[in-house]
Structure 1
């Protein structure tokens, strides 16, 4: 199935912010959306420029509760800055004509995506503008519902 077809069959709201957004605002967006785990940072033209995940935001904002941080580490985390200061600018994006299976089986890229705790795969057009996201949870639901005994119980 092509990513464009997936987006039509499984529409999912992409959470987006601009780079000058505060981390506090970003945290509110993530907390207000029960399925939201990823924020994509867009420029003024709607192009994907970065990613900021729930775990990263939580780690930054809850740093003062972490008793093993040095004073320097604590100060660095408390003087938080903007989303652009903390985003990951290496974002795996899919084009509209890509096949879902090809994305999943590009092991290196997809594994890096998972290692960074990114649960949404952004789908972009030819100008790198965000069109939607493919949620890992939706991919898992689909895999389970179409399983022919290949997944273990």
Structure 2
């Protein structure tokens, strides 16, 4: 199935944030939208320029709960900063005319739970949630 057809039938709201947003602001978006596992960072033109996953953000904001054993953990403990400083700039996106089966395995290997669908200008059209794909796969045929 092509991404465009999936989005028509199974629309999932994509959550975005500006690169200059604070980490607590991004965390608030996750808390307000508990089904969301990935936030997409967009530039001033609405183009996807980064990705911030729930686990990464939680690790940064909850670093004080872990004992400090390494330099990296110490740096994380004192880091606040903006989303831009902590986002993954390498976002695996798909186009509306691509088949989900063509990109699905890449997302699973990277442990990404949402597949962002973007237009030719890198603007986010929607997301395909892996959980929704799983729901559809186990749905009884009737």
TM more than 0.5: yes
RMSD: 1.7
Residue aligning to 2:56: 56
Q: 1:127 aligns with which of 121, 130, 137?
A: 121
Q: Which of 91-100 and 68-77 deviates more? A: 68-77
Contact 2:60-2:76 at 8 Å conserved across structures? no
Residue 30 (str. 1) matches residue 24 (str. 2): no
Contact 1:60-1:78 at 8 Å conserved across structures? no
Residue aligning to 1:113: 110
Unaligned runs of 5+ in 2: none
Residue aligning to 1:98: 98
CA separation of 1:130 and 1:72: change in aligned 2, threshold 3 A:
closer
Q: How far does residue 133 in structure 1 lie from its aligned partner after superposition?
A: 0.3
TM-score by length of 1: 0.85
Q: How far does residue 100 in structure 1 lie from its aligned partner after superposition?
A: 1.4
Q: How far does residue 46 in structure 1 lie from its aligned partner after superposition?
A: 1.0
Q: How far does residue 75 in structure 1 lie from its aligned partner after superposition?
A: 4.3
Contact 1:14-1:39 at 8 Å conserved across structures? yes
Q: Cα deviation per residue 1:37-61 (whole Å; 9 max; x = unaligned)?
A: 1100001111111100110010000
Unaligned runs of 5+ in 1: 148-153
Contact 1:39-1:52 at 8 Å conserved across structures? yes
Runs of 4 or more consecutive aligned structure 1 residues displaced over 2 Å after TM superposition: 68-79, 109-113
